[in-house]
Structure 1
Amino acid sequence: MEAVSAKVILYDQSNIGTLEWPDTEYGQYACKYILPLLEHRAEHFIRNVRTRIEVVTVDGIPIPITINEQEYENTYVCSPYTHYVSYAREELSLLNNRLLEKGLTALLSGIGFLLRGAHFNRVVQVNNWLLSTNLYPDVSAEQLIAILDFLRQRFPGYALLFRSLNRETSGAAVTALSSYGCKLVPSRQIYLLQQPSPSKAKWLLKRDRALLDKQGYQIVGPGEIGAEDISRIVDLYELLYIHKYSKHNPMFTEAFIKLALDTGTLTLYGLRKDGRLDAAMGFFCRAGLMTAPLFGYDTTLPQSTGLYRMLSAVLIGLAEQNGHILHESSGVGQFKRNRGAVAAIEVSAVYDRYLPLRTRFSWSVLEKVLNRIGIPIIQKLKL
């Protein structure tokens, strides 16, 4: 595909002061989110992130990029190695098949050795907000191609990566990037909830919402969550996403929650009982999509309390009110299917054509292994 004539400019700490942030809802959001990351460094807000952050504008629209060299212990939102090897190795236990787990562990070890030798983490990620799901602003496929054409000249020797793409919500971008020469490397199975929900799903959601009164919880939203709740929100998120799931998930700090609370970079909601916050989430909306990268609850309370069910019902209700498609990320597949969500395969578009042979070979091997082995297993087991 030929490069297009969109105007692309790169900003870093040396010239970020000259960037004129658009006077739009997205432009002001980007300003409030990105400037603190440049001022304080990313690890001030997400303690297991090591990356360099810069900003590209395409026709004046600002989009964050992250630049990495190695950082193999990084959270997966900046480290492809962590995503495809370290995190994947942890999730093999979900298969409940010891023989299959043993075989895939050996396969991942071999792939990991190959990837490290190929400088796999030398990568520039476009539209990377350091979150589990990076929703894209309202830019055209042609503008994404213009960014890609610009960055391949500016960052020779780096793979260029667009994460959080799928055919269902970003089909035009996927097609354009593939036509340009990007590999489409599967990353995970996600769940998308569109309205209206099937009758069975509506019944389940009604039952989930009824738990709020039964368990005595009050829904609290913006204006009802304050600075005194910040440390508790961090704890609730870590109980679920770090301690129960994986240390490779982003580890949000109190500074990140304070930024969300002060500027609205995430809209915070929670469940409170007897003055105590026992569940919390933070979501944002973009171009008709909504997702909640911050989600947690007190896992020390009995599962019968139903905190996950109640908090999920609140999130789904808010998506219905906004008229947005809810991007529910990955995991807990059966639960999400039962409540009307539909599975989709998320991919990363990777441009590596000008890189050394062993790096291109590594991405090709990964692409083939995931398409032929990884994705079929995930789909069969409905993970």
Structure 2
Amino acid sequence: MKYAAASPTLAHTLWMLSARTRGGKHWLTNANCEFQSITIAEQTQPISVQILPSCNQSYVLSPRSAWITYAKDEAIRHVPVKLKWLAKIGADCLFFPLSMLLRGSGLDSAVSVGNRLISTNLYPDWNFQELQNLTEELVSEYPDYPYIFRNICTEVNPHFCNYLQKCGWTLVPARMIYLCDPQNPAVWKHNHVKKDARLLHSDDIQVVPPEQIKPSDLPRMRHLFRQVFMDKHSSLNPDFTDEFFEFCLESGFLELYGLRDKGEIVGVLGIYEYQGSDWLTTPLIGYDTTMAQELGLYRRLMALLLQIAKQKNKRLHYSSGASKFKQARAGQACLEYTAIYSQHLNTRKKLFNQLFAKTLQYLAPKILKKAEQY
């Protein structure tokens, strides 16, 4: 099967124009923010500023949702029902001090750089001078806010991470992610990878490439995504709007693929690429959770993702979650960080930022590695 090629540069430009004009809620129902822009290495990057900081904002926008609310909910979710009351008390005790540090740091209203309101942003390896210029411009334009860069990983952008730290940014652990190189023949020798590939190419469910996706398929695709990420997991996941799905179909911002069974879409996959990055990822995946588990809809979608990455000669960013599943399919666990800059703020806010960062640098790796067991 030959997959369609996207035009990411034009798509990103169009995404930015709409974001600046209409705000984050045009793309996500739970992202109440304004957008401006900044230039890095002759590329225009989005700058998001929260309008009303809230614990109900998606974690892709809100540091509070990402580090406090979502993490707290996940910690409680994995506990047996009989012990949930005890887990809630323990989570409150653990996260309350962290919440106070976050509030004092000003991160509740941080300016986010390069954030396109998706689970995994991809970046080129900007050099030291470009990042230094960016930092100076941010201090000039937004003197009263701390700044954050999401999705920073030394295995994905090694030089980028090093240069950020040299410019005074602090790396704070955010989540455990899984990385894979489909160009490595060893990947395809994994037993689960071979089984998934056979399942994907069986005749019972059809793979629908981007050029065959119809506008009438989009409401169903959105429903399937929400069925998995909003209903099954957390309302803090990005809740993409109808307009977002329409935009992806028209522009290729995410390449939309589907699984079709008896004429109906039963799975959706959105492929994301960025110019200058060697990586590919999927911020959008969903499937019909009411169908028989034996059909392996999630397995088919992940097999499709791996196959597309190989064809495009890209390394695969599996993102976070489903740790055992992804490790069984050649995913290598790596810590991902959010970079924070607060050197320009007053002494009190700088101190709160330092304490917040040091607390998470100590606690988060242990918690995230423990979570891999689930």
> Is the structural similarity TM-score above 0.5?
yes
TM-score, normalised relative to structure 2: 0.90
| Residues 43/199 of structure 1: CA separation in 2 closer, same or farther (3 Å cut) | closer
| Residue identity matched to 1:315 | L
Partner residue of 1:333? 323
Asked if residue 284 in structure 1 is aligned to residue 284 in structure 2, the reply is no
SS in 2 for 1:169: coil
CA RMSD of aligned residues (A): 2.2
Asked if residue 176 in structure 1 is aligned to residue 159 in structure 2, the reply is no
Pairing 1:44-123 to 2, within 5 Å after superposition = 44-68=26-50, 70-72=52-54, 73-93=56-76, 95-96=78-79, 102-123=89-110
| Residues 214/263 of structure 1: CA separation in 2 closer, same or farther (3 Å cut) | closer
| Residues 196, 299 of structure 2: 8 Å contact kept | yes
CA distance in 1, matches of 2:294, 2:89: 34
- Post-superposition Cα deviations, 1:73-122, rounded to whole Å, max 9, x if no partner, equal 32111111111111111110355485676434311122223423443322
| Residues 117/179 of structure 1: CA separation in 2 closer, same or farther (3 Å cut) | closer
| Residues 242, 251 of structure 1: 8 Å contact kept | yes
| Residue identity matched to 1:127 | G
Partner residue of 2:334? 344
| Residues 192, 343 of structure 1: 8 Å contact kept | yes
- Post-superposition Cα deviations, 1:123-169, rounded to whole Å, max 9, x if no partner, equal 11111111111111463342122111111121111001111111111
- Post-superposition Cα deviations, 1:299-319, rounded to whole Å, max 9, x if no partner, equal 122322211111100001100
CA distance in 2, matches of 1:279, 1:171: 34
Pairing 1:221-260 to 2, within 5 Å after superposition = 221-260=209-248
- Post-superposition Cα deviations, 1:249-293, rounded to whole Å, max 9, x if no partner, equal 110011100000011111011111100100001112221110110
| Residue identity matched to 1:244 | K
Asked if residue 355 in structure 1 is aligned to residue 365 in structure 2, the reply is no
Partner residue of 2:123? 136
CA distance in 2, matches of 1:322, 1:27: 16
* Residue of 163, 168, 175 corresponding to 2:150: 163
Partner residue of 1:373? 363
SS in 2 for 1:268: strand
Asked if residue 275 in structure 1 is aligned to residue 257 in structure 2, the reply is no
| Residues 120, 151 of structure 2: 8 Å contact kept | yes
Q: Which stretches in structure 1 are left out of the alignment for 5+ residues?
A: 1-24
CA distance in 1, matches of 2:355, 2:289: 39
TM-score, normalised relative to structure 1: 0.88
CA distance in 2, matches of 1:225, 1:141: 42
Aligned-residue sequence identity (percent) comes to: 31
Partner residue of 2:4? none
Structure 1 window deviating more from structure 2 (225-234 vs 36-45): it is: 36-45
| Residues 57/77 of structure 1: CA separation in 2 closer, same or farther (3 Å cut) | same
CA distance in 1, matches of 2:310, 2:77: 31
1:356 Cα deviation after fit: 3.1
CA distance in 2, matches of 1:201, 1:367: 40
1:340 Cα deviation after fit: 0.4
Count of paired positions: 360
